[in-house]
Amino acid sequence: MTKFQYDISAEIRMTLPEVEFLQKLASEHYDRHCQSVGVQGGFLYGMRNHAEFGGENCDLHFLKFREIDTLCKILEPIPGMQPSPARFGKTMRVTLFNRLHKVLGAINEESRRLHEP
């Protein structure tokens, strides 16, 4: 018998300024994987293109657990790091982190529901 595994994507609304903020943080991150998602070929780069040129619902993105987890890592404060740009500040970082972290929990719940024996 064939078994199936489902890969869950979450629908997330994120504005162009939020995506640009994440790209800036990604470019300054110590981890190479986090840096790579914000450049051409990375999913965050694709999100920026969609947010900028996507037309109607351009703030709507579908992300998988691993992508959201990477964004949470990018948003984690790093000891000794320079503060975020004044126009965004700590508030945007914390707000985005909390919002995305809740989505991770929701994906885990949905995964458990789908994969119950």
Each as own residue / partner, the long-range contacts of residues 49-57 (CB below 8 Å, 24 or more positions apart, any chain) are 51/14, 51/15, 51/16, 51/19, 52/16
- Give me the phi and psi of 17, to 5 degrees please: -60, -35
Residue count (the chain): 117
Using 50, 70 and 90 to split pLDDT, how confident is the model at 10?
Answer: very high
pTM: 0.85
Per-residue pLDDT tens over the stretch 55-65: 888 899 999 99
Alpha carbons 22 and 25: distance in angstroms, whole number: 5
Indicate the DSSP class of residue 39: S
- The domain locations on the chain are 12-114
